[in-house]
Each structure stands twice: as structure tokens, then as C-alpha cells.
Chains A and B, each alone.
Chain A
Amino acid sequence: MNLKTFKRGGVHPPENKFSAGVPIQPLGIPERANIILLQNLGAPSVPVVKKGDKVKVGTLIGKAEAFISSNLHSSVSGTVEKIDDVVGFSGYKTPAVIIKVEGDEWEESIDRSPDLVTDIELEPEAIVEKIKEMGIVGLGGATFPAHVKYLGSPDRKADTLVVNGVECEPYLTSDHRLMLEKADEIMVGIRVMMKAGRVDRALVGIEANKPDAVENMRNKAENYPGIEIVPLKVMYPQGAEKQLVKALLNREIPSGKLPLDVGCIVNNVGTAFAVYEAVQKNKPLIERVVTITGKKLKKTGNFLARVGSPSSMLLEAVGETMPEGTRKIIGGGPMMGKALNSIDIPIYKGTSGLVLVDEAETWRREPLNCIRCAKCVGVCPMGLEPYLLEKLAKKERFDACEAESIVDCIECGSCSYTCPSALPLLDYIRYGKTNVMRIMRERRQK
């Protein structure tokens, strides 16, 4: 069978999807929830609770004040202990609402019954408002506030909703499990998003290494008009929105433009599920599916974790202490994830998984000289020249970096992954990219 994929670049790292067969289980309730205020791309939520306030599950604790920001709700019930700095995913201390847990009392407005609600009653504007109110962010990893994509614009109209069920990152299986266990909910979520975006076609891209998910979703999609499931050839980084749009629709998103410019809205299947729960069940985004996996772990798993639970709870849940020889704990997938400072870092809306990797997998070799093999150029999905960008960034020639379109880099890490000389390509490209973006910002302000 000739499967679709994106045309340019890409790599295929070992999949290692150990936890694909493990059903999603609830993680349980932490003793104390540290809910970080910056849970989304953009501006942090502004806290609306203070020390001593009683909160229930689903109570609003942070409000979106900026345009690109999201509401934040309590994931537990209890008393607000304080608003203090805790070490977050950024590696630095960031402000968080710390809630001491007492019982598990939910807001009455939340429909906790397992019944599927298929009738979409709300009008498009009301749906977008609801998505915003319930603090939904993109659950693929970038945590972009979901409602912003549906605000629409007068001169650009979407015709297709692209749903990302690719999960191209090795190890992670949270979306895979969701597609197996909550396919109906995802379908309704997609219908809700289609209504909100005023589109009548939705394409769900799923990589062919998840045949059970493809089949399950296909069976369910028959009952929902306009939704088509498209199996895709396994290729990293297919889950990146530009690559996914190219693979599914053969449309290229120009440099510096958004999917909406080519008539698409892109969302993750996890987001579709969250949208279903928000719009149909009135439930804010307070929990998400997180994978815990690693080669050395005897048991791996997928857990429905409350936002703000410490990451160490995942390890306890699979009944393990830290396995011998673990060198690095990665939050997110191994390709784009970030090593954690500590195992106690709270789970946030963007945590798709926790991957424990050992020395052999993580330790970088001593970088050698570039041998001009151009492998990095071949795998770059954005058509950039990573070896050149690395050199320019290293020499701080940021003007040349800008001319070589460094800001188009999606930081997928394919170049570093493939480099036979083990050069820290992405590290320096990121260094150059942040500097170029700073320079561009300063120029705009002038």
C-alpha cells in the first residue's frame, strides 16, 4: 500500500512503543497539587485565588488576561496553601498555585457520568467561548491556547480540520491509547471543533504503526459524517503541523504563515477529547493522559493524571523506584522533550509522557568535525541547512542566520539525531534562533 507522508526530510528512530498495550488508568490524587500558572504558550494565567481559599475540582484558579493565554482550573479539591515558586518544566522556578488536597469534591456543573453526549447544542461562537472558558490548550505538546485557532479571521477561511493522531515521537503512546479507548468521544470532539471552525471536512492522520487505532477510529468514523481517517507512513516529525498538513493535503504552509493561511486548522486527538469533555460535559482541562516508559522499566503505563501531580507519582504507579542506570528523565518524547531537573516536577497540560533513558541512549559522544556528509540537510523537514546554521550561530553571525531562514526551524532534532559526528547541531541552531528572534523583535519595536 502506498501511504501518504510529507516529502522533504524526516527520520525514523526506533519506535520503542512499549506501553502501547497498557490501558489508561487513573493516576490517583496527589497529596498536594502544584499547579503552575504558565500552562500554555504565551502569557501565564493570572491567579484568582488566594491563600486559604477552598477550591473544588474544576474551580477556576487562574484567568487568561492576555490574548494568547488560557484559563486554569483546580485539578483537586482542598485549600490553597500558597502561591509560591516551584521548579517547573522550564528548569527554573515559576509561580504556581499550591493546593493541599482534602477529599475529592467536584464542581456540580461538571457532568461526570460516562454517557456519550453526541448532540452538539451550542452555536459556533458559544463553542469557542466554552473552549476558552474551560482552559483548553493544544495537548500535542506545544500547549497553544485552543480557542485562538477558532477565532477566525475575515480574510482567511478554513475548509479542513486536520486532526493529529500521528504520535510520531518514539516511546509515547498516550494518543494511541486515547484513540483506542475514547474513539467515540474523540469523534464527537472533532464534530464540535468542525462546527466551531465552520468546516465540513476533517482528516485524522494516524501513522501506520498503530493499525489497531486506525481500524478502531475508522469503524467509529462511519457514524460521524465528514470525518476521514488517513493512515500515514511512519516518519518523524510527521506530528509537526506543517509536515502533517503537507502529508494529508499536500499543501505547503509558507514560511512565517499559519495553517489557517492554507485553509486548515490543526489540532491533536488529545485536544479533541478535551474539547469533547469541555463542551459536552462541561469539564475543564484538569487532567490528561501521560505515558511513563523506558527500556529499563519492568512495567510501563498510560495514566490519566491530574494536572499538578508530581511526576514521581507516575513512577510509583508502575510500582518502581528509579531503575539502575537511569541517566536522564525526559518530559515529553525523546526527540523534542526536555530533560527534567527533578522527578518532583509537576505534570502540566503539555506533559505527554515521561521517558526514562539510560546512559547508552542519552549520553552524547564527543563531537567530531563536520565531515560535510550533508545528512542533516537530507533529513531536515524544513529544507534548511543545519550544518551551516550551526556554524553561523556558533560564530554569532546572526544576520547570516536570519538570511538562511533560521526562524523556520521547528526544532525537531532530526539533524542532531542523524549527525555521524555527533555535533550539537540543534543546540546551536536554537541559540541562533532565539537571538535572531530577539533581534527581529527589537527591530519591530523601533
Chain B
Amino acid sequence: MNPVILYSLATLGVLAAGAAMILFFVARKFRVDEDPRIDEVADLLPGANCGGCGYPGCRGFAEALVKAADAGDMSGLNCPPGGGDTMAAVGAFLGAEVGEATPMVAVVRCGGTCEKAPPKLEYNGPAKCDIAHKLFSGTNGCPYGCLGLGDCVAVCDYDAIHMDKETGLPVVDDEKCVACGLCVTACPRRIIELRPKGKKNRRVWVNCINKEKGAVARKNCQAACIACQICVKTCPEKIQAFIFKDNLAYIDTDKCIACGLCVPVCPTGAILATFTPPKPKPKTKPEAKPEPKPASEEATS
């Protein structure tokens, strides 16, 4: 055989053997023991890496789940896109009790449609809410309202939020929304909020986050909360679901029973419900419980 080939084979062989030994010892010395269950739990998760659980991706969440299962407390851990089924499967695999998670949905809290809050200015910069937000208060003048450039739409991994061309506002598709919360953080004005879906999809919310004084807010938008507090007074005394702060009413989801009494009394129509609200009743009977009805889209439009 040609000695050149022989020498090269020998040299390379020695080098390879040396490198293999180094690698062997390094792998021994710096070995990371990993729980094999983490991989299997990660396989059970949806794998979208949306971050809705608050952990960096599905694997990060799987690690947290395994850790929590060992500690015996899995409450507070929830995979919003996977929902109850996924969590039940994870719980069964890890042999631990899974906490009951309230199904949530993203809610857009702005009623400044092109009609109710007509634009006074033009904006022809890049279609990015964050950029427009840093420049000015918005084409309709409301410093709290939706800018309508669709950062929330762009960020959604589930095709669950779309711009309504007529109103200029984003609309959430309840069926597709998994409440991962990406749109909540994408909105520079924090207009979108995750709220519980509610029993039989019944929920009530204040469709405005404007903290200006009533007259000021009204000037820019016909659908703004004008801080009149009629809703606060209408809410049954035992419930008191309203939090009134900084010229703005907010419905506490823990307390609200979704009776819908506050919806028709709002003079600007700034309180919305997913069901047909009851007609206003005299004050003598505050605790009216309307019949549950299927979700209707007309109230949200």
C-alpha cells in the first residue's frame, strides 16, 4: 500500500482515538440528567410555542409541569390553547391533580368605530400600531382607543382576530381564540384583555378604556365611557361588580353574574354583552335573572 495513505490513516486514527477519549470524559463529566418525562409531556402539549402559559415555549412549560407534579401542586398551570383536554392528559400521565382552569377569551375593549369616532386626521405611515402610537393620539383623537393598524392581527398564531373593514376595529373569533395573550401584549395601548368566557358563553364588559373626563372622551368618540356611573348604580347591590376608577367603569369578572342589567342603561352603549340583555326594569326589582340565551352577535357589532 502507498505509504502516504498509510501514514495519513494512522495519524487520523490516532487523532480520532484521542478526540474520542476526550469527548467520552467530557460527556461523563458534564452530563446533564434530564427527566425523561419532560419530553413526553412536551409531546402532549400543542407545540405552538405561543407563550400563553407564561413559560418560554411548550418545552419550558413541560419542565414546569413535571416540577410541579413532583411537588404535588399543579394549580395555576394551564395551557390556554390546549384547554381542559390537554391538561387532563398531562395530569393523567404525571399522575397528579390538575387545577380547574377558567376558559378565557380575548376581548377588544374599544367601540371607536369609523362611525362613532370619525377620523379627523390622516395617517399614512407604516401600518404598525406601535409606531403610530408613539407619534400621536390616533386619527380620531382618542389617546386610549384602537389605532386600527392591526398589530394584534399580525401577531395571532391562531387566525382568531381580524380587522373589520367597516368599523376599523379588530374582531375576535371566540371559537378560534385560545387566550394565549399574544394580542394583549402586542397592543401598544393594552386595549385587549383576557376575560373568562363565562358560563354558556355569557359575558359582559365595558367596551372602552378611556380615562379622560366624560366630556373630553365624548368629544372624540360617541361610544366612550363618559364616567356617568349609571351602570355602577344599576348593578345589584349584592353583586357590586363595577370598579370605578379614573373616570372609567370596569367590570370585575369575579363578581359579575352576567345579568346584563347594566347593558341597556349605558347612555353611550359602551357596555356590551354576548347575549341579548334584558330590558331596563324598575329599581324595585334589581336582581332579575334573565333566561340564558345562546350567544348573539348583534350585541357585539
A341-B121, A363-B124 in contact; A430/B137 too (CB < 8 A)?
A: no
Do B124 and A341 have beta carbons less than 8 Å apart?
Answer: no
A434–B124 Cα gap in the complex (Å)? 21
A338-B135, A434-B134 in contact; A364/B125 too (CB < 8 A)?
A: yes
Interface 1/0 per residue, B113-134 and A, CB below 8 Å: 0000000011011101011001
A434–B188 Cα gap in the complex (Å)? 13
Q: Which residues of A contact B143 (CB under 8 A)?
A: 92-93
* CB nearest neighbor in A for B124: A364
Do A87 and B131 have beta carbons less than 8 Å apart?
Answer: no
Do B125 and A431 have beta carbons less than 8 Å apart?
Answer: no
Q: Does A427 contact B (CB under 8 A)?
A: yes
A91–B135 Cα gap in the complex (Å)? 6
Do B126 and A424 have beta carbons less than 8 Å apart?
Answer: yes
Q: Does A428 contact B (CB under 8 A)?
A: yes
Q: Which residues of B contact A427 (CB under 8 A)?
A: 125-126, 128, 131
Do B125 and A92 have beta carbons less than 8 Å apart?
Answer: no
Interface 1/0 per residue, A301-341 and B, CB below 8 Å: 00000000000000000000000000100000000001101
Do A428 and B124 have beta carbons less than 8 Å apart?
Answer: no
Q: Does B99 contact A (CB under 8 A)?
A: no
* CB nearest neighbor in A for B128: A431
A residues 424-438 in Cβ contact with B at 8 Å: 424, 427-428, 430-431, 434
A91–B142 Cα gap in the complex (Å)? 11
Query: What number of B residues sit within 8 Å (CB to CB) of A?
Result: 15
A431-B130, A431-B131 in contact; A91/B137 too (CB < 8 A)?
A: yes
Where chain A touches its partner, the secondary structure class is: mixed
Closest chain B CB from A413 CB (angstroms):
13
A363–B130 Cα gap in the complex (Å)? 21
Q: Does B214 contact A (CB under 8 A)?
A: no
Q: Which residues of B contact A338 (CB under 8 A)?
A: 135
Q: Which residues of B contact A364 (CB under 8 A)?
A: 124-125
Do B125 and A424 have beta carbons less than 8 Å apart?
Answer: yes
A residues 152-168 in Cβ contact with B at 8 Å: none
Do A91 and B126 have beta carbons less than 8 Å apart?
Answer: no
Q: Which residues of A contact B122 (CB under 8 A)?
A: 327
Interface 1/0 per residue, B160-186 and A, CB below 8 Å: 000000000000000000000000000
A370–B126 Cα gap in the complex (Å)? 15
Closest chain A CB from B51 CB (angstroms):
14
* CB nearest neighbor in B for A425: B126
Closest chain B CB from A346 CB (angstroms):
16
Interface 1/0 per residue, A414-446 and B, CB below 8 Å: 000000000010011011001000000000000
The contact of A428 among B126, B135, B212, by CB within 8 Å, is B126
Closest chain A CB from B186 CB (angstroms):
10
Q: Does B141 contact A (CB under 8 A)?
A: yes
Q: Which residues of B contact A87 (CB under 8 A)?
A: 137
Q: Does B93 contact A (CB under 8 A)?
A: no
* CB nearest neighbor in B for A434: B134
Do A428 and B121 have beta carbons less than 8 Å apart?
Answer: no
A364–B124 Cα gap in the complex (Å)? 7
Q: Does B136 contact A (CB under 8 A)?
A: yes
A430–B125 Cα gap in the complex (Å)? 13
Do A428 and B136 have beta carbons less than 8 Å apart?
Answer: no
A338–B128 Cα gap in the complex (Å)? 18
Q: Which residues of A contact B141 (CB under 8 A)?
A: 341
A93-B143, A427-B131, A431-B130 in contact; A341/B136 too (CB < 8 A)?
A: yes
A427-B131, A430-B131, A431-B131 in contact; A92/B126 too (CB < 8 A)?
A: no
Q: Which residues of B contact A367 (CB under 8 A)?
A: 126
Do A428 and B131 have beta carbons less than 8 Å apart?
Answer: yes
Closest chain A CB from B171 CB (angstroms):
25
Closest chain A CB from B274 CB (angstroms):
33
Q: Which residues of B contact A93 (CB under 8 A)?
A: 137, 143, 212
B residues 184-214 in Cβ contact with A at 8 Å: 212
Do B137 and A92 have beta carbons less than 8 Å apart?
Answer: yes
A residues 242-296 in Cβ contact with B at 8 Å: none
Q: Which residues of A contact B126 (CB under 8 A)?
A: 367, 424, 427-428
Closest chain A CB from B150 CB (angstroms):
14
Closest chain A CB from B256 CB (angstroms):
31
Do A341 and B131 have beta carbons less than 8 Å apart?
Answer: no
Q: Which residues of B contact A431 (CB under 8 A)?
A: 128, 130-131, 134
A364–B131 Cα gap in the complex (Å)? 16
Closest chain A CB from B192 CB (angstroms):
18
A428–B127 Cα gap in the complex (Å)? 11
Interface 1/0 per residue, B241-262 and A, CB below 8 Å: 0000000000000000000000
A residues 338-392 in Cβ contact with B at 8 Å: 338-339, 341, 363-364, 367
Closest chain A CB from B145 CB (angstroms):
13
A341-B121, A341-B141, A427-B125 in contact; A92/B136 too (CB < 8 A)?
A: yes
A424–B141 Cα gap in the complex (Å)? 23
A434–B134 Cα gap in the complex (Å)? 10
Q: Which residues of A contact B130 (CB under 8 A)?
A: 431
Task: Tell me the B residues contacting A by CB distance below 8 Å.
Answer: 121-122, 124-126, 128, 130-131, 134-137, 141, 143, 212
Closest 9 CB pairs of A and B: A91-B136, A424-B126, A427-B126, A427-B131, A92-B137, A431-B131, A364-B124, A92-B143, A91-B137
Given contacts A339-B135, A339-B136, A341-B137, 7 further A-B contacts (CB under 8 A): A92-B143, A327-B122, A341-B141, A364-B124, A428-B131, A430-B134, A431-B128
Return 8 A-B CB contacts under 8 Å, by A number: A87-B137, A341-B136, A364-B125, A424-B126, A427-B131, A431-B128, A431-B130, A431-B134
